[in-house]
């Protein structure tokens, strides 16, 4: 993120020597150090977290210069095909592109199966593209925070477009929209799909809406686009300066993809001109801080020996109706200050 | 026989049940029943009552519904055709083998092509450097075809070609080779596999997306119906489905549903059903599930008759299922490999009792490498012994009238029919394939099967029971891939220098145009281009320009394998070790499962991926057809702890060292490399010397692989990132 000025830099953590090499590698745009740095910040180990914080501090002054694009949509909507088509056009135009694929599910026992590069096979071969799928979090959670940090690493490494891809389930769209400059939602050209998205309140998050698979039935895609436009017109846009466009395209045939990117550029220019672009980033930075504080407090709570000792018993008591939730929460929180 | 005593009492089934229960484990008769993977119950006893309500127990061979066979006399008249599938790297070697086979009693030629040819690449293409001459013969042009069939009278010997991706240049090349041998196309007999739907489900040797691929098939059906009356335009294959893990019911259902789809495609092009239906042939697998395999072939004929009846053909031949069969390659074991001779003989008997029209028996060393001459001879003799020593051929459909066989035939047919109806409800097989549903269904069966084998519930002698303490090495055939490739490249150069470039290019342009416009017959145009010495790769590229190359979306099942182990103490211990690793390292162990080169057999890779994920690994699946450099890059970008390479087509000696080298070059030698699949024992040392941390042969249980991988990566970079 935007680095704190030297005088306000808080609790600077000393860098380990190995990490100095890592940082140099990242700044030099070398793949292995980039990959290693992301692994470091994904790590759930405490000492790794300390090192990751120091590494991020060092990288932060070099970050922030990319266009951050969030892309979401239901399974089967063609996200990967779309990102591949878009990505190929971007690298051809000289951009350096990083794709961070986020698996929002949380699984306690099993691991994840990650097939993103299978789906973005051509892009994966491009020297100026970096694709990193992240596994579902274990019990400890925190996928969103790790992705924000990974964006910084990629930016410091010189990637000027960062795409964050996530499957549209539950809260993942909200999390991703909260870490990118522009959030695009992919939909299929069948009726009902738009209603679903409306209901979930996801449409409000979108700065651009894409109706994919227009190749199958162009007329249906256009009529879906019209419907979504109509639906959008009754919603209040997130920014008074931007009415989200709806674009029907075919990712499979790479048709309409250039138009999509023109809209992204127009969005960036418009929002920069009115100051909303920077305002959004500042808001996100603050949100980020708060979500870290929330997570940190939660972790501290669970790590507190007295809480650990009492938690099961108190939870059971609430479950059995012996104690009110209010009293229980107060008791447990009270243990932290003891 | 006047003095024969009468049956003392009429059979009393209840009395039998009581008597049998006494002998059953815990007095429970149901414990003697076997539940098949598709959910059928095979009982310990069948009686006349099991025939109650069965509609087709009194039919005749050569007559509808053909349950007892397509011809009236079957093997009593003439036994099945012995057709051994083979291809040995170069056209010259393969030709020598075919001639030897024909002289030794073989009755047809069956060509296996190398992976590069399957995928429509010339031998000099950079993506196939490790694949040329692997798993079959390298064919680049008509010149190679002429060597392949040199001295073989193509008007007399039927030729079967296993080709699905590059069907156009290969079939066209064969036609032109015959033409230049002086044999007109209407004299040619044989079969081309040409079954693209199953490629999208299991074998992955496709080139173009489903829709244009279906057009190619329609064009081939149309052309052969008109010009090549003795040639089978398609061999609708269940073989690879079962090899990839499908149950017999699923194999049966998907194969027939594929067939139905091809018929509908041809009809939609305005053809008359009787003009082509008689030239559709089938290809089924024969596994170790003996009774069900016999029942499957009988049920297949019944169901095909039922399906075709709905298209109202006039010629009964149009409703008659004729099939080739091959013994299962999956059932062959690397361990104690001579057991494979016995397995193959039993599987062959199932095919014979089921009434196959032609048969390939595998060589016992095929779990390890391409067959040696010795192994190929034993395989061929297995069929000759059944045909000429046993008198098995003298009776048509000998299992007919067996209470068990009649019942199982109907039950299997019913189970398959239910699946066919499900496919119909989805809009047919193309839809079922495109959505990925069909592939996932097979992969689920494969994961279940693997779990049964790894838990010892399905016995494989010499693998999970009765293991040898020490295996003795078997002589295997070695392929020098580099020399095959070099000689092909020389021949390609010569070909390109000696042809009329302008005329050839015009012929290719005509193909491109036909692909664009949808007009013209693609086989007809391909013949013209091959005649002018276009290469397999050039012809494929001319079409690729319009259609692109198909890219599979990888979906995978999860939870199926692990579910079988839910009560297993060892499994739980391993999961705990993985959790401990994750706590120690700050993340779960992350491995990449990859295939290298043009080998598309991904059953092993997918099963291992799902098993490892169920255990608690994070698993990256690499795209099919990766080069070693691409795999190394993915491993580095994703920062995995280890890579597992699944290899089945002898690529390990070139592709694996290239991967290790690519990792080393990029300073990533700490990423451990493992190899799994078909690797001859004598190559283990070679791989270890290359830097490979472990080699897992066929039959290694997934938990065992997982434990070794975990140990290796735990030892490797302790507590660093």
Query: Which residue in the block uniquely carries the two structure tokens 């692109």?
Result: B548
Of A39, A113, A131, the CB nearest to B721: A39
> Nearest Cβ partner of B621 from A40, A44, A118?
A118
pLDDT tens figures, B667-717: 899 999 999 988 888 889 999 999 999 999 888 899 999 999 999 999 875
Residues 6+ apart with CB under 8 A from B43: B32, B33
Q: In terms of Cα–Cα distance, which of B529, B510, B530 is closest to B520? A: B510
Beta-strand runs (E) in B560-677: 590-594, 618-621, 642-647, 672-677
Is there a catalytic annotation at residue B641? no
Phi, psi at A115, each rounded to 5°: -125, 20
Interchain contact, B638 vs A35, CB within 8 Å: yes
Q: Which of B517, B513, B510, B546 is nearest to B531 (CA)?
A: B510
User: Any CB–CB contact under 8 A between B605 and chain A?
Assistant: no
pLDDT band at A257 (very low <50, low <70, confident <90, very high): very high
Determine whether B595 is an active site residue: yes
Best interface-test mutation with A: which of B600, B618, B626, B670 has the largest number of A CBs within 10 A? B618
What gap in Å lies between CA B422 and CA B270, rounded to an integer?
27
Report the alpha-carbon distance of residue B196 to residue B211 in Å, rounded.
Answer: 10
Q: Confidence band (pLDDT; 50, 70, 90) for A68?
A: very high
| CA dist., res. B418 & res. B409, Å (int) | 14
Q: Is A124 in contact with B623 (Cβ distance < 8 A)?
A: yes
* Interval A292-316 mean pLDDT: 88
Higher pLDDT, A6 or B189: B189
| A111·B621 Cβ contact <8 A | no
Mean pLDDT of B187-198: 94
Cβ distance of B620 and A114 shorter than 8 Å: yes
Is residue B612 within 8 A of residue B702, CB to CB? The reply is yes
- Could you report the per-residue pLDDT of B121-151, keeping only the tens digit for each? 999 998 998 889 888 899 999 999 999 999 9
- Whether chain A has a CB inside 8 Å of the CB on B59: the answer is no
Q: How confident is the model at residue A338 (pLDDT cuts 50, 70, 90)?
A: low
Of B144, B365, B599, B683, which is the active-site residue? B599
In sequence order, the 6+-apart residues with CB closer than 8 A to the CB of B445 are B37, B245, B246, B247, B250
C-alpha to C-alpha distances, A31 to A20, A66, A100, A147, nearest whole angstrom = 16, 18, 14, 17
* Contact call for B586 and A45, based on CB within 8 A: yes
* Chain A CB within 8 Å of residue B568 CB: no
In the block, tokens 């992976």 appear at B115
Which chain A residues are within 8 Å of B622, Cβ to Cβ?
117-118
Which of helix, strand or coil describes residue B326?
strand
pLDDT-based confidence at residue B311 (cuts at 50, 70, 90): very high
pLDDT of residue A3 exceeding 70: no
Q: Is the pLDDT of residue B439 over 80?
A: yes
pLDDT digits (tens, 9 = 90+) for B53-109: 999 999 999 999 999 999 999 999 999 998 887 777 889 999 998 998 888 877 788
Q: How far is B704 from A236, CA to CA, in rounded Å?
A: 58
d(CA A97, CA A87): 7
Secondary structure E strands in A126-232:
129-134, 161-167, 182-187, 208-211
Reported confidence tier of residue B2, pLDDT bands at 50, 70, 90: low
Helices (H), A43-192: 46-59, 79-92, 116-119, 121-125, 143-156, 172-177
Q: B558 — contact with chain A (CB < 8 Å)?
A: yes
Across the strands, what pairs with A98? Answer: A130, A162
Nearest 5°: CA angle at B177, between B173 and B180? 140
Rg (CA), chain A: 22
Mean pLDDT: which of A152-161, A230-239, A320-329 is highest?
A152-161
Asked about B174 being catalytic, the answer comes back as no
Do the beta carbons of residue A134 and residue A101 sit within 8 Å?
Answer: yes
Q: Please judge whether A113 and B558 are an interchain contact, meaning their C-beta atoms are less than 8 angstroms apart.
A: yes
Would you call B688 a catalytic residue per the annotation? no
pLDDT range class, residue A199, cuts 50, 70, 90 = low
Flag the least confident range among A187-191, B19-23, B308-312.
A187-191
> Is the separation of the CB atoms in A209 and A226 below 8 Å?
no
Strands B81-82 vs B85-86: parallel, antiparallel or unpaired = unpaired
In chain A, what residues touch B623 (CB-CB under 8 Å)? 117-118, 121, 124
Please indicate whether, in this complex, the C-beta atoms of A39 and B620 are within 8 angstroms of each other. Answer: no
The residue among A118, A143, A251 with the most chain B CBs within 10 A of its CB, best to mutate, is: A118
- Record: contact A112-B623, CB cut-off 8 A: no
Confidence band, pLDDT 50/70/90 cuts, at residue B719: very low
Cα of first residue to Cα of last residue in chain A, in angstroms, is: 36
Residue B232 confidence (pLDDT) above 90: yes
d(CA A120, CA A130): 11
Q: What are the Cα distances from residue A72, in Å, to A153, A210, A280, B245?
A: 22, 10, 19, 34
Round to the nearest angstrom and report the end-to-end CA distance of chain B.
88
Cα–Cα distance, A92 to A88 (Å, whole number): 6
Instruction: For residue B360, indicate whether it is catalytic.
Output: no
Contact across the interface for A113 and B623, Cβ inside 8 Å: no
CA distance A65 to B271: 62
Count other C-beta atoms under 10 Å from residue B685's C-beta: 10
Chain A residue whose CA is closest to B721: A40
Q: Are B439 and B329 in contact (CB under 8 A)?
A: no
Q: Which residues from chain B sit within 8 angstroms of residue A127, using beta carbons?
A: none
Q: What does the alpha-carbon distance between residue B695 and residue B683 come to, in Å, rounded to a whole number?
A: 10
Beta bridge partners of residue B459, listed in sequence order: none
Contact B201, B241 (CB under 8 A): yes
User: To probe the interface with B, which of A35, A51, A110, A128 has the most B CB atoms within 10 Å?
Assistant: A110
- Give per-residue pLDDT as tens, B353-375: 999 999 999 999 888 777 888 99
pLDDT in tens, B378-387: 999 999 999 9
Strands B41-42, B34-35: pairing is antiparallel
State which residue of chain B sits closest to A80, comparing Cα positions: B553
Percentage helix, strand, coil for chain B under 3-state DSSP, each rounded to 5: 55, 10, 35
| Binary contact (B616, A109; C-beta < 8 A) | yes
SS3 call for B338: coil
Residue of A nearest to B582 (CA): A44
Q: Say if residue B65 is preceded by a cis peptide, omega within 30 of 0.
A: yes
Which residues in chain A have Cβ-Cβ distances shorter than 8 Å to B667?
A: 32
Contacts of A112 in chain B (CB under 8 A): 613, 618-619
Tell me how many residue pairs between chain A and chain B have CB atoms under 8 A apart: 109
Residues of A with Cβ-Cβ distance to B666 under 8 angstroms:
31-32
Give A285 to chain B, closest Cα distance, Å.
26
Helices of type H across B194-289: 196-198, 210-227, 239-243, 248-268, 273-276
d(CA B142, CA B144): 5
For the four alpha carbons of B419, B421, B424 and B426, in that order, the dihedral sign comes to: negative
Distance from CA of A32 to the nearest CA of B (A): 6
Which pLDDT band holds residue B659 (cuts at 50, 70, 90)?
A: very high
Nearest to B517 by CA among B212, B78, B305: B212
Q: Do B622 and A117 touch (CB under 8 A)?
A: yes
Task: Please compute Rg for chain B using Cα positions.
Answer: 26
Q: Can B601 be counted among the known catalytic residues? A: yes
Residue that is written with structure tokens 């980033």 in the block: A281
Cβ separation of A115 and B621 shorter than 8 Å? Answer: yes
Nearest to B672 by CA among B619, B708, B621: B708
**B213: Cα separation from own chain's centroid:** 19
3-state secondary structure of B525: helix
Of B240, B296, B528, B652, the catalytic one is B240
Residue B119 has pLDDT above 50, yes or no: yes
Set B296, B601, B606, B693: catalytic member: B601
Could you report the per-residue pLDDT of A73-98, keeping only the tens digit for each? 887 788 989 999 999 999 999 999 99
Beta-strand runs (E) in B270-360: 280-286, 323-327, 358-360
> B719: helix, coil or strand?
coil
- Chain B nearest CA to A264, separation (Å): 27
CA B161/CA B154 separation, integer angstroms: 13
Burial of B461 (0-12, 13-18, 19+ CB in 10 A): middle
Burial B96-108 (b: 16+ CB within 10 A, else e): ebbbebbeeebbb
CB-based burial, B120-145: b 16+ in 10 Å, e otherwise = bbbbbbeebbbbbbbbbbbbbbbbbb
What pTM does this model have? Answer: 0.83
Query: Which helix (H) or strand (E) covers residue A313, if one does?
Result: helix A305-320
Gap between the Cα atoms of B107 and B80, Å rounded:
9
Question: B683: which 2 tokens?
Answer: 């190559």
| Angle in degrees, 0-180, between the axes of helices A257-274 and A79-92, rounded to the nearest 10 | 70
DSSP codes joined into one string, A64-75 = --SEEEEEEE-T
The structure tokens listed for A329 are: 């929460």
């Amino acid at each position: 993120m935007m680095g704190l000025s030297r005088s306000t830099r808080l609790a600077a953590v000393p860098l380990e020597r190995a990490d100095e090499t890592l940082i140099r590698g990242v700044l030099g745009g070398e793949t292995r150090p980039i990959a290693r740095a992301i692994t470091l910040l994904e790590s759930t180990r405490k000492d790794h977290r300390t090192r990751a914080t120091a590494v991020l501090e060092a990288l932060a002054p070099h970050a922030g210069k990319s266009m951050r694009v969030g892309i979401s949509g239901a399974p089967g909507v063609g996200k990967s095909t779309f990102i591949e088509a878009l990505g190929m056009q971007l690298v051809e135009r000289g951009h350096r592109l990083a794709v961070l694929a986020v698996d929002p599910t949380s699984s306690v026992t099993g691991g994840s199966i990650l097939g993103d590069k299978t789906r973005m096979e051509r892009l994966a071969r491009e020297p100026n593209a970096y694709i990193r799928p992240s596994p579902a979090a274990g019990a400890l959670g925190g996928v969103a925070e790790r992705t924000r940090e990974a964006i910084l690493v990629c930016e410091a490494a010189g990637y000027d477009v960062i795409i964050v891809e996530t499957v549209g389930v539950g809260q993942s769209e909200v999390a991703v929209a909260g870490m990118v400059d522009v959030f695009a939602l992919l939909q299929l050209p069948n009726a009902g799909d738009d209603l679903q998205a409306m209901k979930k309140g996801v449409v409000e998050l979108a700065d651009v809406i894409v109706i994919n698979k227009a190749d199958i039935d162009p007329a249906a895609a256009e009529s879906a686009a019209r419907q979504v436009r109509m639906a959008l017109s009754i919603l209040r846009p997130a920014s008074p300066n931007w009415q989200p466009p709806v674009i029907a395209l075919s990712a499979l045939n790479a048709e309409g993809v250039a138009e999509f990117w023109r809209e992204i550029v127009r969005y960036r220019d418009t929002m920069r001109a009115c100051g909303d672009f920077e305002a959004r980033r500042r808001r996100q930075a603050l949100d980020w801080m708060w979500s870290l504080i929330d997570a940190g407090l939660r972790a501290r709570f669970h790590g507190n020996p007295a809480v650990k000792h009492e938690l099961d018993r108190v939870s059971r008591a609430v479950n059995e109706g012996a104690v009110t939730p209010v009293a229980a929460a107060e008791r447990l929180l009270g243990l932290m200050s003891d | 026989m006047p003095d024969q005593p009468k049956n003392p009492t009429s059979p009393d089934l209840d009395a039998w049940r009581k008597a049998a229960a006494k002998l059953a484990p815990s007095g429970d008769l149901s414990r003697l029943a076997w539940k098949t993977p598709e959910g059928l119950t095979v009982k310990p006893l069948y009686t006349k009552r099991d025939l109650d309500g069965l509609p087709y127990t009194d039919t005749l061979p050569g007559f509808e519904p053909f349950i007892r066979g397509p011809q009236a006399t079957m093997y009593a008249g003439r036994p099945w055709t012995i057709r051994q599938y083979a291809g040995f790297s170069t056209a010259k070697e393969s030709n020598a083998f075919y001639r030897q086979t024909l002289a030794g009693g073989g009755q047809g030629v069956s060509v296996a092509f190398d992976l590069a040819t399957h995928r429509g690449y010339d031998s000099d293409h950079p993506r196939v450097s490790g694949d040329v001459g692997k798993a079959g013969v390298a064919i680049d042009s008509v010149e190679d075809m002429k060597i392949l069939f040199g001295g073989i009278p193509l008007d007399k010997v039927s030729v079967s070609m296993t080709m699905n991706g590059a069907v156009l240049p290969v079939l066209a090349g064969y036609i032109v080779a015959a033409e230049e041998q002086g044999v007109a196309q209407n004299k040619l007999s044989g079969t081309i596999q040409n079954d693209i739907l199953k490629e999208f489900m299991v074998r992955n040797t496709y080139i173009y997306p489903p829709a244009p691929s279906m057009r190619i098939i329609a064009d081939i059906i149309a052309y052969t119906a008109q010009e090549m009356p003795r040639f089978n335009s398609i061999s609708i294959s269940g073989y690879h489905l079962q090899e990839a893990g499908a149950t017999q019911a699923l194999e049966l259902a998907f194969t027939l549903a594929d067939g139905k789809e091809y018929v509908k495609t041809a009809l939609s092009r305005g053809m008359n059903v009787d003009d082509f239906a008689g030239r559709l042939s089938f290809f089924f697998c024969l596994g170790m599930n003996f009774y069900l395999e016999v029942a499957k072939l009988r049920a297949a004929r019944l169901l095909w008759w039922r399906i075709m009846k709905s298209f109202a053909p006039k010629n009964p031949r149009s409703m008659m299922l004729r099939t080739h069969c091959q013994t299962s390659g999956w059932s062959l074991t690397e361990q104690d490999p001579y057991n494979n001779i016995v397995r193959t003989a039993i599987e062959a008997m199932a095919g014979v009792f089921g009434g196959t029209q032609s048969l390939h028996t595998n060589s016992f060393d095929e779990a390890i490498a391409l067959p040696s001459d010795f192994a190929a001879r034993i395989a061929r003799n297995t069929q000759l012994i059944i045909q000429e020593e046993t008198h098995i051929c003298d009776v048509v459909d000998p299992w007919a009238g067996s209470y068990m066989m009649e019942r199982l035939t109907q039950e299997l047919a019913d189970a398959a029919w239910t699946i066919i109806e499900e496919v119909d409800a989805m809009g047919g097989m193309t839809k079922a394939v495109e959505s990925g549903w069909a592939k996932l269904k097979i992969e689920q069966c494969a994961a279940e099967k693997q779990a049964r084998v790894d838990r010892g519930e399905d016995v494989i002698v010499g693998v999970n029971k009765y293991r040898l303490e020490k295996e003795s090495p078997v002589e295997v055939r070695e392929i020098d891939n580099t020399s095959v490739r070099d000689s092909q490249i020389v021949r390609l150069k010569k070909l390109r220098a000696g042809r009329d470039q302008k005329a050839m290019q015009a012929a290719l342009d005509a193909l491109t145009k036909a692909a664009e416009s949808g007009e013209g017959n693609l086989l007809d145009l391909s013949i013209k281009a091959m005649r002018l010495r276009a290469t397999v790769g050039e012809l494929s590229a001319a079409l690729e320009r319009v259609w692109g190359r198909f890219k599979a979306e990888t979906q995978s099942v999860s939870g199926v394998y692990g579910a079988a182990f839910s009560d297993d103490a060892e499994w739980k211990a391993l999961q705990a070790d993985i959790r401990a690793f994750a706590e120690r390292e700050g993340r779960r162990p992350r491995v990449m499962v990859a295939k290298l080169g043009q080998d598309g057999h991904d059953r092993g890779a997918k099963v291992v991926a799902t098993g490892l994920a169920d255990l608690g690994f994070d698993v990256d699946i690499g795209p099919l057809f990766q080069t070693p450099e691409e795999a190394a890059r993915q491993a580095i970008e994703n920062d995995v702890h280890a890579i597992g390479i699944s290899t089945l087509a002898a690529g390990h000696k070139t592709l694996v060292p290239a991967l290790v080298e690519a990792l080393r070059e990029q300073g990533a030698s700490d990423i451990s490399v493992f190899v799994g699949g078909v690797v001859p024992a004598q190559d283990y040392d070679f791989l270890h010397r290359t830097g490979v941390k472990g080699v897992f042969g066929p039959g290694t249980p997934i938990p065992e692989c997982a434990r070794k991988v975990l140990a290796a990566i735990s030892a490797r970079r302790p507590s660093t990132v």
